[in-house]
């Protein structure tokens, strides 16, 4: 193994460099490596208003085309706007995800420019589930994970399917990590 500090060749498996004393980087054993537990995304019901508006606008444009409204370009333009709203809503639905691993909870936001936030499972203070009336009708809810490291820091999983199961999965992963 080559020392990352001085470049000295050391024996395989050495914990420290024999020349400068720098700690050698050894790969973690397979049993300690981080692994994925769950992936969460907002339900498409969260974006229903965009789908509804896009569908209605496209339907209005289609109706104008069916009635042979003149100029015909207006009908095509309205259909195009409706389809564009629908496509933008689909892209928006893919811009946020939450990943639960054996060591941390990762929030990823964005499509072109991205933002990533992480919370170590050992730093989780509380896991809260909230369900508004319309969310309960569709089996959705919000899960808020508060950090013990900072009073302001929390990751909120908005409008996810089966929030009680998601919260329980996070709790179990946290307990397993602390054990």
- Say if residue 58 is in the same domain as residue 114: no
Instruction: Kindly state whether residue 29 falls inside one of the protein's structural domains.
Output: no
Instruction: Kindly state whether residue 166 falls inside one of the protein's structural domains.
Output: yes
- Say if residue 105 is in the same domain as residue 169: yes
- Say if residue 73 is in the same domain as residue 52: yes
**How many domains in the chain?**
2
Q: What is the pLDDT of residue 32?
A: 63
Three-state SS for 176?
Answer: helix
Decide the pairing of beta strands 124-130 and 96-101. Answer: unpaired
Q: What is the pLDDT of residue 31?
A: 58
- Say if residue 106 is in the same domain as residue 173: yes
Q: What is the pLDDT of residue 150?
A: 77
What is the DSSP code string of 54-101? HHHHHHHHHHHHHTT-SSHHHHHHHHHHHHHHHHHHHHHHTSEEEEEE
- For residue 67, CA distances in Å to 49, 71, 117 come to 27, 11, 51
- Say if residue 174 is in the same domain as residue 104: yes
- Say if residue 145 is in the same domain as residue 87: no
- Say if residue 57 is in the same domain as residue 116: no
Global pTM? Answer: 0.69
Q: What is the mean pLDDT of each run of 10 residues along the chain (179 residues)?
A: 76 80 64 83 88 94 89 91 93 90 92 89 91 92 89 89 94 87
Q: What is the pLDDT of residue 60?
A: 93
């Amino acid at each position: 193994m080559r020392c990352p500090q001085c470049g000295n060749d050391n024996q395989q498996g050495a914990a420290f460099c024999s020349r400068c004393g720098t700690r050698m980087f050894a790969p973690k054993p397979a049993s300690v490596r981080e692994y994925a537990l769950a992936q969460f995304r907002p339900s498409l019901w969260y974006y229903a208003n965009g789908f509804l508006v896009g569908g209605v606008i496209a339907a209005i444009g289609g109706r104008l085309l069916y009635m042979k409204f003149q100029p015909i370009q207006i009908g095509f333009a309205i259909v195009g706007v409706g389809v564009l709203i629908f496509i933008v809503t689909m892209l928006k639905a893919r811009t946020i995800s939450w990943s639960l691993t054996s060591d941390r909870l990762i929030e990823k936001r964005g499509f072109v420019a991205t933002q990533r936030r992480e919370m170590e499972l050992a730093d989780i203070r509380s896991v809260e589930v909230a369900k508004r009336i319309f969310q309960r009708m569709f089996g959705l809810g919000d899960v808020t994970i508060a950090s013990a490291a900072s009073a302001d820091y929390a990751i909120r999983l908005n409008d996810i399917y089966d929030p009680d199961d998601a919260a329980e999965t996070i709790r179990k992963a946290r307990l397993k990590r602390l054990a």
